[in-house]
Homo-oligomer: A and B are copies of this chain.
């Protein structure tokens, strides 16, 4: 068989990464197959060797975020149940609602960049989006007070605040107002987290 075993999967990964960046920046409809393939250093026709259609790439591009920065956040906050780091979760909230994240059009979380694009896409794309939310909520929930039955609901509220605050900030043309929203959501999220953090897991 010609080409090494991983040659195709590496090319595919390059296409996914190009798609993730371009979709994040320009949205689903404004990105063309040409743009994606050019960004990946390839030409148009080869796209269909790797994906059934444009929406299939979209689904992979969205979920690929979990393998990149998402994994980084997850690692920092601690996936290992035996080694939770609640203070890192607060740092993750800081990072998510930061001015840096707001300005990072390429690296931003797709939940912020693409909500209405995804809402009108295929079930596969929406599943990818849900994977991101589930990861975020799981990360929050694990570090909230499990003895309080409200841990899950607080985790979901935190996610709504993080995503909602950033979606609004991204959309508002008045950057002062955008910062106000972002900051208010940040304070509210920090309040909810501190009131419900599993204090037994906090460092001394």
- Please give the residue numbers on chain A whose beta carbons come within 8 Å of chain B beta carbons, in ascending order: 26-27, 29-30, 111, 113-120, 123, 126-127, 129-130, 133-134, 152-157, 159-165, 167-168, 170-174, 177, 180-181, 183-185, 187-188, 192
Contacts and interface: CB of A to CB of B under 8 A. Distances in A.
Given A120-B30, A171-B129, A181 B164 contact: no
Contacts of A152: 180, 184
A191 to B, nearest CB: 9
A119 B159 contact: no
Nearest to A125: B173
Nearest to A173: B126
B172 A184 contact: no
A173 B114 contact: no
Most buried by B among A115, A127, A154, A180: A115
Nearest to A129: B171
A165 to B, nearest CB: 4
Contacts of A29: 29
B173 A123 contact: yes
B188 A157 contact: yes
A30 to B, nearest CB: 7
A177 B27 contact: no
Contact of A116 (B115, B185, B187): B115
A162 B160 CA distance: 8
Contacts of A130: 171-174, 177
A202 to B, nearest CB: 22
Contact of A160 (B113, B174, B181): B181
Contacts of A119: 167, 170-171
